[in-house]
Amino acid sequence: MATDEILQAIPHRPPFLFVDEVVEQSEDSLTAKKHVDASEAFFEGHYPGNPIMPGVLISEAVFQTGAIFLTRLLAEELESDSDMVPVLTKIVDARFRSIVRPGDDLYITVKLKEKAGRFIFMTGGVKNGEGKRVMNVTFSVALAKAEQGE
């Protein structure tokens, strides 16, 4: 279950929330954890009988961890202009190294590479509970005006 800290940091909610808790943070990085439960709805249709977590959802866990990191990194900026939200602008060199199955714990780390104006460049990595590399990715986000809902 996601902590209140995560629910306050990003707008994502179950069933599209792929971060359970923040486990470590520093000035230029953040590590979160996701327990991959066997009851996740995507397992019903993704390789039935041989459940594998889709790579796109592992990627989404990285991007959500990045969004949590950015709410801390850009707290003052976002507070002074609450209409700004980070949006994904580029995904580079995503590499998947091992399969994620029900029961696995994922440790997701994002690191700041560079901030240039409204663009933020980061790297992300995922390891399983045994420390085995699952995925690496480089990505960027930009601050954009939020759409006002009706």
Active-site residue numbers?
A: 46
Asked if residue 52 lies in contact with residue 99, where contact means CB atoms within 8 angstroms, the answer is: yes
- What phi, psi does 62 have (nearest 5°)? -65, -45
Asked if residue 13 lies in contact with residue 19, where contact means CB atoms within 8 angstroms, the answer is: no
- The pairing of beta strand 84-96 with beta strand 119-128: unpaired
d(CA 16, CA 132): 25
Asked if residue 122 lies in contact with residue 101, where contact means CB atoms within 8 angstroms, the answer is: no
Burial class (CB in 10 A: 0-12, 13-18, 19+), 147: exposed
Residue 148: CB atoms within 10 Å = 6
